[in-house]
């Protein structure tokens, strides 16, 4: 099995795992405890239209801040605990949701909180190539995505006998093995510092928790739902 790490665009037509560790991937993963489906979109205007169409909840941010008029921001904890009878979440974020648009493969969503589950799932469904794709921040490398990807790739390798890693993937595994350093990386990355200034420190703590969820989202027909076993 070929296992690679990429930035923004996938190099696999088999299985790709989108990683936006702070915070879209974590929000998507935990939101599936409360919502049957998540519809990612790319502008606030589109989100409002989809809210009317599907009678859903709109969530999202720009620059880390909740969008005016939205029901909720891009806080994984708040989305996971949001009390509503509605089962559709419409989500727009600065980075993660835009990455999904251009993936022509089976697309899963990964982060620290579901690293073990998404790793196991990717191995079950892949034929020859799993590509872990870092969303980054506005076209720039994001440390937290690199670290979370390392944990996911480590879990993938735990479920494979034979695999071939590119050097980027090898480096990510090495960087992610010291958990205390990983947490420090989340806190002190550019994204982490920005979220701390916005008083979202609890979100950062939530996003670096290891394997607290078995949820694995699959992106298909412009929707994110729990993958079926």
pLDDT, tens digit, 9 for 90 and up, residues 182-191: 999 999 999 9
Domain boundary among 94, 112, 144: 94
CA distance 132 to 146: 10
CA distance 36 to 86: 9
Q: Which residue has the tokens 């944990």?
A: 151
- Per-residue pLDDT at 102 exceeds 90: no
What pLDDT is stored for residue 112 in this prediction?
Answer: 98
Overall domain count for the chain: 2
- Per-residue pLDDT at 225 exceeds 90: yes
What's the whole-number mean pLDDT along residues 109-115? Answer: 98
pTM above 0.85, yes or no: yes
With cut-offs at 50, 70 and 90, classify the pLDDT of residue 229. Answer: low
The answer to the question of residue 156 being in a domain is yes
Domain boundary among 94, 112, 127: 94
- Per-residue pLDDT at 95 exceeds 80: no
The per-residue pLDDT for range 122-176, each reduced to its tens digit, is 999 999 999 999 999 988 999 999 999 999 999 999 999 999 999 999 999 999 9
CATH of the domain at 137: 3.90.1560.10
Domain boundary among 94, 110, 140: 94
Angle at 98 between CA 96 and CA 100, to 5 degrees: 80
Do residues 62 and 111 touch, judged by C-beta distance below 8 A? no
Helices (H) and strands (E) in the chain, counts: 10, 11
Q: Are residues 8 and 110 in the same domain?
A: yes
Instruction: Give, for 101, the enclosing helix (H) or strand (E).
Output: none
The answer to the question of residue 228 being in a domain is no
Q: Are residues 43 and 14 in the same domain?
A: no
The answer to the question of residue 42 being in a domain is yes
3-class DSSP assignment, residue 63: coil
Within a 10 A sphere around the Cβ of 27, how many other Cβ atoms?
33
Q: Are residues 102 and 90 in the same domain?
A: no
Domain that holds residue 103: 2-23+97-220
Q: Are residues 13 and 59 in the same domain?
A: no
CA distance 213 to 112: 9
Q: Are residues 78 and 55 in the same domain?
A: yes
CA distance 134 to 144: 9
Q: Which residue has the tokens 């909180």?
A: 113
């Amino acid at each position: 099995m070929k296992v690679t790490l990429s930035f923004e665009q996938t190099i696999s037509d088999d299985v790709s795992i989108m990683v936006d560790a702070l915070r879209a991937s974590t929000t998507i993963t935990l939101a599936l405890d409360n919502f049957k489906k998540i519809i990612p979109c790319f502008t606030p205007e589109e989100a409002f239209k989809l809210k009317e169409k599907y009678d859903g909840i709109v969530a999202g941010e720009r620059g880390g801040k909740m969008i005016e008029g939205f029901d909720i921001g891009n806080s994984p904890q708040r989305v996971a605990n949001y009390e509503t009878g509605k089962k559709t979440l419409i989500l727009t974020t600065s980075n993660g949701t835009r990455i999904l648009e251009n993936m022509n493969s089976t697309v899963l969503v990964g982060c620290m909180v579901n690293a073990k589950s998404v790793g196991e799932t990717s191995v079950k469904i892949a034929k020859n190539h799993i590509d872990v794709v870092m969303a980054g921040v506005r076209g720039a490398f994001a440390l937290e995505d690199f670290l979370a990807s390392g944990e996911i790739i480590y879990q993938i390798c735990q479920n494979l006998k034979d695999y071939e890693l590119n050097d980027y993937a090898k480096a990510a595994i090495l960087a992610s093995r010291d958990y205390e350093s990983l947490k420090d990386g989340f806190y002190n990355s550019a994204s982490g510092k920005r979220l701390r200034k916005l008083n979202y420190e609890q979100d950062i703590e939530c996003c670096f928790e290891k394997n607290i969820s078995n949820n694995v989202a699959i992106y298909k027909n412009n929707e994110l739902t729990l993958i079926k076993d």
